[in-house]
Amino acid sequence: MNRQAGPDPLLSLLRQTADGDRKSFQVLYEETNHRLKVYLYRLVGDRSCIDDILIETYTQVWKSSATFQGRSLVMSWMIGIARNVAFKEMGRIHYHENLDDHREIIAKTVDPDAGDRKKVLALALAQLKPRHREILDLAFFHDLPYREIADILNIPVNTVKTRVFHAKAALKTALNKMDIDSNNL
């Protein structure tokens, strides 16, 4: 969102990967693996399948690196690939359970003042619809501009803005249900 415009630090690695440079691909992997893993965990919610999704994602990155056209940042392009792979995988196996069936998760007592802010936020995010979780993840955790989010999700920029607005409201509601003042996070 507030990322400064400038050269994409991953572009040269991807171009070298397209030329078959395995060391550049290794560096690209090292630079992006954690961010993709976090994104996938928030999207899928099941750690047991994330490694399989990552392997397929990086296989596709390797195979299609020469087709990258530069209309987005390399990281945005890779998130789009990971998202497509994850949805394909989730279509085969149902990973999401209804949180309403697990009140013990939602009702867990956490104290944001005791350093549990990440837990509080994770519990609140878990209560959101997947599309709200995903839009907040892309906009705030990955700090992607709305234009790139729109490209990843294949929706108009104004729809991204609307989803962010509604997702933030839903997050605030989830925090309120947990008796957490969102201003204290």
Read off the pLDDT band of 111 (50, 70, 90). low
What pLDDT is stored for residue 182 in this prediction?
A: 66
- Supply the DSSP symbol for 115: T
> Considering only CA atoms, which of 16, 10, 70 is closest in space to residue 35?
10
Give domain limits for the chain.
Answer: 8-96, 99-185
Where do runs of H (alpha helix) occur along 127-180? Answer: 130-136, 146-153, 157-177
What pLDDT is stored for residue 140 in this prediction?
A: 87
Backbone angles phi, psi at 42, to 5 degrees: -70, -30
Helices 22-44 & 74-92 angle (0-180, nearest 10): 50
Class of 8-96 per CATH?
A: mainly alpha
Read off the pLDDT band of 123 (50, 70, 90). confident
First to last CA, the chain: 20
Question: CATH assignment of 99-185?
Answer: 1.10.10.10
What pLDDT is stored for residue 87 in this prediction?
A: 86
25-37 per-position pLDDT tens digit: 999 999 999 999 9
What pLDDT is stored for residue 6 in this prediction?
A: 65
CB 157 within 8 A of CB 165: no
Is pLDDT at 65 greater than 90 in this prediction? Answer: yes
> Considering only CA atoms, which of 181, 109, 144, 128 is closest in space to residue 39?
144
Cα 15 to Cα 10, 103, 145, 154, distances in angstroms = 9, 48, 23, 24
Is pLDDT at 116 greater than 60 in this prediction? Answer: yes
What is the Cβ-side half-sphere exposure of residue 105, based on CA atoms within 13 angstroms?
14
- The mean predicted confidence, pLDDT, of the chain is 82
Is pLDDT at 2 greater than 50 in this prediction? Answer: no
What is the Cβ-side half-sphere exposure of residue 42, based on CA atoms within 13 angstroms?
24
13 or 43, which is more confident? 13
